[in-house]
Amino acid sequence: MKQVKITVMKMVRHDDLIEKFENPIEHACEMRLGQVFFSVDCEKPEGFCSSAWESVLPFVMVLAHGGVDIYDGWMKNERSAMISCNDGFRPVSFLLESMA
The pLDDT tens digits for 3-59 are 999 999 999 999 999 999 999 887 788 899 999 999 999 999 999 999 999 999 999
Contact present, 81 and 6 (Cβ < 8 Å)? no
For residue 61, give every residue at least 6 positions away whose Cβ sits within 8 Å of its Cβ, in sequence order, or none.
42
d(C-alpha 59, C-alpha 3), whole Å: 12
Distance of CA 92 to the CA centre of its chain: 7
So what's the pLDDT on residue 98? 96
Among candidate residues 43, 47, 28, 37, the one with its CA nearest the CA of residue 8: 37
So what's the pLDDT on residue 70? 87
Q: Where are the domains of the chain?
A: 4-98
42 class by beta-carbon count within 10 Å (0-12 exposed, 13-18 middle, 19+ buried)? middle
User: In this structure, what are the phi and psi dihedrals at residue 19, rounded to the nearest 5 degrees?
Assistant: -65, -40
Q: Is the pLDDT of residue 96 over 80?
A: yes
